[in-house]
Structure 1
């Protein structure tokens, strides 16, 4: 690990500077105009005090990327701290770290930024507000901090976040009215309500931008809106108040802005979200093991044993006992007790059988039982040898809901239990701090059976925030995409706990050869590349685990031809590419996948003809004299 820190204290104290300068104009230029640059100096964030039309002093910022204006002068502030502000001081520093995550989309993450902490005074108030700015090569972030609050009644409840984002004319955004709703591409005016985040935008120029939250732990989430009187300006809307301060201070989540010339770079650079979170607080992490999971839908003793056998044979690490294993999930404790499995399930025997096969068991627990029984079930499940808990129908958005969820994740860690959070919760990088939180839903996935347009938007929007449990399907007749498309989703979508065959009973259907792709694919990665893509049209993602690459390509509801070079392979070496594509000779194309194997190198080009809603999956492994016999070169 490398660490390079250079701190420079800029003491911009008004009384001192008055003695040093005879010109108030010089004083204003020095104190009230601060620039934070990215390490490569391609990004510049200007922070300054300016009077509005009513003559009120407010804090503003603007952002330029390579001399192109990305965010025009926009207001900052939180709660009552949005007017009559003065800059007291600024503390600047440079940080350059590289850290190794327990698991992620890459095995090393660079964390380099320039930071400036600006301390503000407000006329008539003795307390101070700090606004912390970080400029990265990939974007920037800011957060608010009250280091010490003398009179809390002045501040609480905090009901507003006054952070604004004013974009140049002509920007469009992928508006999402609810967590599991379809997206709409809209200009920055006349929105039908508030949008979920992350919020991805395309500027009139060639730039793409994503707005989101990081380290959103004990704070209500924000949603984004525009106002009729302020077109092109995006406002932040807290989903509840912050009621009080437990320790006499207050710190907000980070408001981050990713900036990229290509939409795929937004996804590649989403490690910024993890960088804005604290390192792991779990000392011993050996028990935290990502993997694949299938749910048991019959909730019967024989069904569980069959699924455990299937999981063992197909390299799936976990099975999930879903809603109903302890009774009706929305009933009270008296009628549905999460400490008492249904007797006919014979859960102790199932747990013992799974342990023999090295398969872990996850248990679904509804919010009703979580609220009433969390402190009872955690030590009990740890004693049983349960691998993890899937939280069901959680509340998300308010201060109380978010605080409860993150406290629950911490408690699960104390009892060596991993966590998968459903339904509307979205990540903000907390996985770095508590990596037992493997994944979460918060996505329009296969529970809604979306079309391919939805699936080609998600990588550039929802997945910027972090992993999503999309609940992949394969056999279900309601799927609106090809089977090759579903196969490829496992490579395109990142989830350390990847749920497969959501509405399927795979042990009842004869598996085709193509399902070896799901058998072999890992869920965490050493490297990730977005090879190509346009939002809502198509995408190709290549991910590496060890010496093997897994690649997924998707198209939207339009048929198209795609191709890409294998330049990410090591030059001079031969590989075997197994290609899982749509069988154009079959009578039912959406239900047919053909499997071809070829010798490839870094100079090879993969070409494919995708049907509407189609896809293609590719697995690439090193070739040797044994596994390459009889395999021809890729044409």
Structure 2
């Protein structure tokens, strides 16, 4: 107990005894008044700090904020009335002052948001955006700042705002003080950028972990994420100062600010099952400002990468027509060595007759996407955009961008807008991960920031991704589907794939990306077995509705997605065999459907079969380790 409180309570007892023992009315009255005054003072010392709170629309998720006894701004998160995060410190370290410590709360405001917006480029064609918001206007010393928190069903999101004020025009954030103090022992699936995942308990964490980070204690599943980062630096999660906690650290540099500066959102999402985390995959979109109007030239689709000759480009276009692809891509090297400043992205190499390829694409309604490395982008972005528009290019792929520093992220945000303004779709590769900016610029169809198929990941990695990186948004996995005759043995790909063809078919449903790269290391002439590639021809890349049916992190995953009246189901096994069943409750009642099933055969090819199914059926699953199954379910006439 506080020693002052202990001493005061001792004095109260002495006063009470004196009142009992004395018979003098005046003395008893004086002592009684003194006892009451002491009691009031003790009560005021004991009084808990004022708690500010906001609750989700369904009433199950709550954020509580307060200034603790040490004068630090703190918060905690409750789910189903139980704390998930215990009291955790908030704040920013500026060059000259700490925001968070020595805080006074000046004012609070609250509001409710209930909207739905159309999203034709997503996992679902409409997104519900319901939340309750609380804004605390705070002061640390003489410096004013705001803490904005929004509470969705299952999620708490907050950000810091540095408003315009006297004597402040710009500053430097040298550290973010945000902490996450969990109330139990959790395992985190640690990774950075394009690495593999390593499950490790928080207290044993020695490396940093990227956003979004997935954690579980076996009962709850958490995703700690980031949204709306267009002018900050890359931040990572680190082991916290106390047990079962995480802190936030800058990866590379500090953050220059100006008046009315807003940090990215920090998000904490909670589910009672691993598969329940999928409901938060559109959260970054909900926390990012919307596009004014969806442009009709933004078209999702599938692409095949072309070798660097005119004939290869023409052949890829013909292949794209036959296989219902929408794009081809000329990747690194089409204008010379990509890292050399002497290579000019305004001039194709002599082996490519770019006008001829682009025209052949236009004649067949196939778009051409061009890769440009960071070196060329930084030197000539404002030159190539109007030039590529004149050429008739459909889209760009950015390569080896800087998604790690404030300067690099800010440059990318500006570049995304420029590409949008010029009417190109966009794919950003290497270390860049989404934070919802596609809601502002829907031409940004996909990005990497993932250990994709060109790195030959195993089935454990493939069945961790849906519960981790894909919670941030679309990812370009670059499927390296082998041809029917051989596995690839060129310089880029020397080992046999670690998963089956059936798993790759399944992952084209499980993994969401409006722009899907298929046959990454393939040549159009290699693929002469139409049954093996048929599912890629049929599967869409954007959806009207998505259902995550069942799954466990690193073990198995099954996802159903609907386009029109047709459902597509992808199921993939991890490193162990999977025997179970899927409930077909998502089908329309009273209808019969034909389910066309594509699965691995014993010879390493794809077997195709059909069965009749209806709503409520239990569909058996028997998938061997590292394999998968893709299903197309169409209503019968």
TM-score, normalised relative to structure 2? 0.89
Matched, 1:233 2:245: yes
Provide the residue aligned with 2:318 in structure 1.
Answer: 309
2:23 corresponding residue in structure 1 = none
**What is the distance in 2 between the residues matched to 1:34 and 1:538?**
41
Compared with structure 1, are the counterparts of its residues 412 and 57 closer, same or farther at alpha carbon in structure 2 (3 Å cutoff)? same
The Cα shift of 1:264 comes to 1.2
Is residue 223 from structure 1 mapped to residue 236 from structure 2 by the alignment?
yes
- Is residue 332 of structure 2 the alignment partner of residue 323 of structure 1? yes
Alignment partner of 2:354 out of 326, 347, 359:
347
Within 5 Å, which residues of 2 pair with 1:43-82? 43-51=61-69, 56-79=70-93, 80-82=98-100
How far 1:240 moved relative to its partner?
Answer: 4.0
Report the count of equivalent residues: 583
Question: In 2 relative to 1, CA 356–117 (structure 1 residues): closer, same or farther, beyond 3 Å?
Answer: same
Q: 2:179 aligns with which of 159, 164, 174?
A: 164
Confirm or deny: 8 A CA contact 2:79 2:154 kept in the other structure.
no
Q: Is the 8 A contact 1:152 1:245 kept in 2?
A: no
2:376 maps to 1:365: no
Q: Distance in 2 between matches of 1:536 and 1:100?
A: 32
Contact 2:500 2:626 in 1 (8 A): yes
The residue number in structure 2 matching 1:10 is: none
Distance 2:134 2:450 in 1: 35
2:273 aligned with 1:262, yes or no?
A: yes
SS in 2 for 1:416: coil
Distance 1:351 1:381, change over 3 A: same
User: Match for residue 145 of structure 1?
Assistant: 161
Unaligned 5+ residue runs, structure 2? Answer: 1-39, 489-495
Q: Deviations over 1:184-215 (max 9, x none)?
A: 111111322211111001025x1110001000
Matched position secondary structure for 2:561: strand
SS at match of 2:174: coil
Tell me the equivalent position of 2:150: 134
Q: Distance in 1 between matches of 2:545 and 2:73?
A: 40
Q: TM (normalized to structure 1)?
A: 0.89
- Structure 2 CA distance, aligned partners of 1:250 and 1:336? 38
Q: Which has the larger radius of gyration?
A: 2
**DSSP-derived class of the 1:564 partner:** strand
Report 1:346-495 matches (<5 A).
346-475=353-482, 476-477=487-488, 478-495=496-513
Where structure 1 has 5 or more consecutive residues not aligned to the other structure, the ranges are 1-21, 625-635
CA shift, 1:510, in A, is: 1.1
1:74-223 equivalences under 5 Å are 74-79=88-93, 80-123=98-141, 125=142, 127-152=143-168, 156-176=171-191, 178-204=192-218, 206-223=219-236
SS in 2 for 1:104: coil
For the Cα contact (< 8 Å) 2:120–2:126, is it kept in 1? no
Secondary structure class of the residue paired with 2:412: helix
Equivalent position of 1:288 in the other structure: 298
Counterpart contact for 2:454–2:480, Cα < 8 Å? no
5 Å-filtered alignment, 1:9-24, equals: none
**Greater Cα offset, 438-447 or 163-172:** 163-172
**Structure 2: how far apart are the matches of 1:83 and 1:272?**
30
* 1:575–1:620 CA contact under 8 A, matched in 2: yes
Pick one of 273, 276, 279 that aligns with 2:290. 279
For residue 27 of structure 1, report the CA deviation from its aligned partner: 12
For residues 310 and 524 of structure 2, the distance between their equivalents in structure 1, rounded to whole angstroms, comes to: 17
CA separation of 1:611/1:272 partners in 2, compared to 1, >3 Å: closer, same or farther? same
* 1:23/1:117 CA distance change after superposition, 3 Å: farther
Question: Distance between the aligned counterparts of 1:592 and 1:398, measured in 2?
Answer: 45
* CA distance in 2 between partners of 1:173 and 1:443 (Å): 17
Which SS does the other structure have where 2:454 is aligned? coil
Deviation at 1:239, TM superposition (A): 2.4
Q: Deviations over 1:148-176 (max 9, x none)?
A: 143348x7210111111011232111111
| 2:60 aligned residue | 42
User: Residues 51-77 of structure 1: CA distance to partner in whole angstroms, max 9, x if unpaired?
Assistant: 2xxxx3101111111122210111001
SS in 2 for 1:105: coil
Please list the CA deviations of residues 490-539 of structure 1 after superposition, one character each: whole Å capped at 9, or x if unmatched.
00000000110111113323124132111011100111111000001000
Write out per-residue CA displacement over residues 547-575 of structure 1, whole angstroms, 9 at most, x where no aligned residue. 01111001111122131011100011011
Distance across 1 between alignment mates of 2:284 and 2:566: 27
Is the CA contact (8 Å cut-off) linking 2:308 and 2:351 kept in structure 1? no
Residues 73 and 166 of structure 1 are in contact (CA less than 8 Å); yes or no, is this contact kept in structure 2? yes
SS in 1 for 2:188: strand
Secondary structure of the 2:455 match is coil
**Conservation of the 8 A alpha-carbon contact between 1:31 and 1:87:** no
Q: CA-to-partner distance for each residue in 1:332-389, whole Å, 9 max, x for gaps? A: 1xx3100001133110011101100100000000111001111100110111111110
Counterpart CA distance in 2 for 1:401 and 1:326 is 23
Mapped to 2, the partners of 1:26 and 1:506 lie a distance apart of: 78
The answer to whether the 8 Å contact 2:172/2:257 transfers is no
**Residues in 1 aligned to 2:320 and 2:358: alpha-carbon distance in whole angstroms:** 14
Query: Residue 565 of structure 1 contacts residue 605 of structure 1 at CA under 8 Å; is this kept in 2?
Result: yes
CA contact (8 A) 2:175 2:254 kept: no
Give secondary structure in 1 for the equivalent of 2:453: coil
Conservation of the 8 A alpha-carbon contact between 2:49 and 2:68 = no
Distance in 2 between the 1:27 and 1:136 partners? 35
For 1:513, the equivalent position in structure 2 comes to: 531
Q: Structure 1 residue 32 and structure 2 residue 50: aligned?
A: yes
Cα shift at 1:543:
0.5
Using the TM superposition, give the Cα deviation of residue 82 of structure 1 relative to its aligned residue in structure 2, in angstroms. 2.6
CA 1:594–1:171: 2 relative to 1, 3 Å: same
